[in-house]
Amino acid sequence: MTDTSADLVILGGGSGGYACAFRAAELGLSVTLIEKDKLGGTCLHRGCIPTKALLHAAEVADSARESSQFGVKASLEGIDIDGVNSYKDGIVSKLHKGLQGLAKAHKVNYVEGAGTLVDANTVEVDGTRYTGTNVVLATGSYSKTLPGLEFGGRIIASEQALNLDYVPEKVVVLGGGVIGVEFASVWRSFGAEVNIVEALPHLVPNEDEYCSKQLERAFRKRGIKFSTGVKFTGAEQTDDGVTVNLENGETIDADLLLVAVGRGPNTAGHGYEEAGVALERGFVRTDERLRTNLPGVYAVGDIVPGLQLAHRGFQQGVFIAEDIAGLNPPVIDEAGIPRVTYSNPEVASVGLTESAAREQYDKVETFTYDLAGNGKSQILKTAGAAKIVRAADGPVLGLHLIGDRVGELISEAQLIYNWEALPEDVAPLVHAHPTQSEALGEAHLALAGKPLHVHG
């Protein structure tokens, strides 16, 4: 490989881009990886990792506040936001250094700068053209807003929310999806008054309706207010606060308005259209093997229609590297990608929701196992459930979990779904006691016709 020529040129160093680079290098391909910001992308620096660090700090705050129920005498003196940010930033810095070391170890030619796609084989950075036999587009996403609602002042996106140097007293969160409910959960644990506004009928509307309703119930108990099925109509801000207006005539006053209405594909300004890449609503159109309409050009991650998840982009990056190397990897099943919302309580799922399953199958069965019957969940004092959706006399089609720490159960859940397991296949498996994983075992026992710790 020369400095400007490689087997593979990747535009974007986020989860999808760097995974593709590292796997391709392992397979003997020469790689140029171009990133205008920092290796690791949004997930590491402005998304998944720092957000989950805040959520863990929030969990620690709740544990101190509620310690008496466990017979422990402790108190919460307050939130040291500088200390929280130092903890968060330290994690990000350590992981960033680790990625930089891996890039060097894989002998990836890492180029810092904004890249522009010139043609199917060329990306230009600061006047230098880098050519590749194949090119991968991996430019990620950005925080969206609504028409007429501009970021600035007291109207912020998640990127600004991550770096606040104070805990707001009152916050309105516009959007009840994953990002919205996670920040709402953090701020409530830190002592803020929180009000979520969601235009669709439920919070986390992409999840199974049962989990959405259970999350809403838990949020009510925590004192998190929310308005669902109502549209935002405008916001006015002053030096002292922001007023949010809803279509039902209601107004909400707060210190901050967090706009969490989703993320858009970061495809503008990179030369995609000019080079002939087919776009649809800003997303890059690909086939099931992530190939664009241009020969030798692939796309990965948030710019490809579907779930905007770091681990989806990561796996797509690995897939593309192996595909280019001739390993013919199997196509990724989008429904088989696990989804976790790290609020308190957590929501985790994989596969089809009950409503989606009923649209695709003539007969569907479900079973919901209440965590009240699970010993470890009682030890943790968490409410919740494991809901299983299956085709009648057929495989498991979806698994939906809600409760503290249920995100850790999603690995077994995705194996069950992706291997098209029957409940009868899972029922004989031994689940360690006491663990929350027993909830999955109990649910499958019930669906296999031999319920044990089930009431009613």
Among candidates 333, 334, 344, 349, which has minimal Cα distance to 207? 349
Q: Are 336 and 319 in contact (CB under 8 A)?
A: no
Annotated binding-site ranges for NAD(+): 175-182, 198, 262
145 token code pair: 């807003």
Instruction: Tell me if 261 sits within 8 A of 229, measured CB to CB.
Output: no
Cβ atoms within 10 Å of 72's Cβ, excluding its own: 10
Token duo for residue 298? 């692939």
Q: How far apart are CA 393 and CA 102, in angstroms?
A: 47
Please tell me whether residue 153 adopts helix, strand or coil conformation. coil
Q: What H or E segment, with its residue span, contains residue 245?
A: strand 242-246
User: In the annotation, is 433 catalytic?
Assistant: yes
Interior angle at CA 175, CA 304 and CA 83, nearest 5: 95
SS3 96: helix
Q: Which residues contact 37 (CB under 8 A, 6 or more apart)?
A: 13, 45
CA 153, distance to chain mean position in Å, is 26
**Residue 162: closest CA among 196, 197, 187:** 187
Please state, in angstroms and rounded to a whole number, the distance separating the CA atoms of residues 67 and 73.
Answer: 6
- How far apart are alpha carbons 32 and 12 in whole angstroms? 10
d(CA 184, CA 203): 12
Tokens 């920040």 map to which residue? Answer: 183
Residue 439 to residues 4, 354, 452, Cα–Cα distance (Å): 54, 19, 11
Answer for the pair 434, 410: CB distance below 8 angstroms, yes or no: no
Helix (H) or strand (E) holding 358: helix 354-360
List binding-site positions.
Answer: 52, 115, 139-141, 175-182, 198, 262, 302
Q: Which residues are annotated as a binding site for FAD?
A: 52, 115, 139-141, 302
Kindly name the residue from 433, 444, 453, 455 that is annotated as catalytic: 433
**Strand runs labelled E in 383-447:** 385-391, 396-403
**Residues designated as active site:** 433
